[in-house]
Structure 1
Amino acid sequence: MALPSCSSTILLYNNVVLTSIQKDVLVGTLLGDACMERDKPTHNSRVRFDQTYPNHEEYLLSLYEIFKDFTGTPPKIQERKPDKRTNKIYKTIAFKSLRYSMLNYYYDLYYKYDENNKRYKSVPINIKELLNARALASWIMVDGSIESYGSTQLHTDKFSFNELKLLQETLSIKFNLRTRLIKKTTRTMSDSNSH
């Protein structure tokens, strides 16, 4: 059996499409800890998933099952540098996708550049159209926690106040969820009860 030529390989990479499940999980996890990489505007993007090991290994492996057709290698366990606050050394388990042109759309949705050309993560302007129940569940799984009084807390400290207001509006309109911002830590909280 002959191997595909270089031009055939490039064509295969450019014709790859995400399933609806992969799109939803990507939308939700990018609101949380998932991140994207793109070396230059002319290069294609890739997504990276990274979780604490061994605490969140099972969750990371479930993400890998969803995206494994887009990766070159299985998840790897890595040691982090010592935590500056505790001096403890933590481990993570992570995997990256290969670089695809289809991922450029998501990179452009979630990443902006400031006046110094420094990259930062942002909430997509069209988040109301993107966020559905599966994407919300993915966001909660990657960056949420349950508080002692039964509410779900979404950790969103990387976003601006206006972006948090957009997320609040989206959660209210699309899911009838009451939310409040916790100013001290700049996080949004979604109560588990609806209006």
Structure 2
Amino acid sequence: MDRNFARSLKHVLKHEGGYANNPKDPGGPTNKGITLATFRSYVKASGSVADLKAITDAQVATVYRKQYWNAVNGDALPDGVDYAVFDFAVNSGPSRAAKYLQAVVGASQDGKVGPGTLAAVRSKAQTLVINRLCDDRLAFMKRIKDSKGRSLWATFGRGWNSRVAAVRAEAMSMAGQRPTATKDRQDTSAKQHWLAAFFAALFSIFKRG
């Protein structure tokens, strides 16, 4: 939902850091997760490194809204799901985030969050979509390899896992739910099935009586 953009962006920026210019980073100078090339595309065509360093909060919001939030149709997604998809898009690209969302809800995986995808998302419980999306995102991260085919999880896994855990918790909060571990969800489900069976048997006894 649109009302969640500012809140979602605040949490995304916690993970993106400040200004950096690592010679090993092909993206070049970066500030708050925004490269100089992206700054020039969305804010100022002739922007300099100095301009990037001095980027304003309003400019940051403009970039993230246009490049990521709008790209995954964040305004139309349910509370919590919007943030989970948005953060995934920032991390791994809007198309990938959209395809993973579509896989979760059983929609055609075309990488675009359109009417069909939105209808499929709305037919599912927000908590289910959030948990499945975060689980699948982690599974994807564990498969990421460098140019030599070596897994990057050993190096970056701890940070990636922490980020997804934080996203899951905040997304669940936005959806109005308390995040639970997978085992807790399984235990709750088993307890519900046991209670249903118990009351069904009890009802059957009284009915015979």
Q: In terms of Rg, which structure is larger?
A: 2
Higher relative contact order (CA 8 A, sep 6+): 1
- TM-score, normalising length from structure 2? 0.26
More strand by share: 1
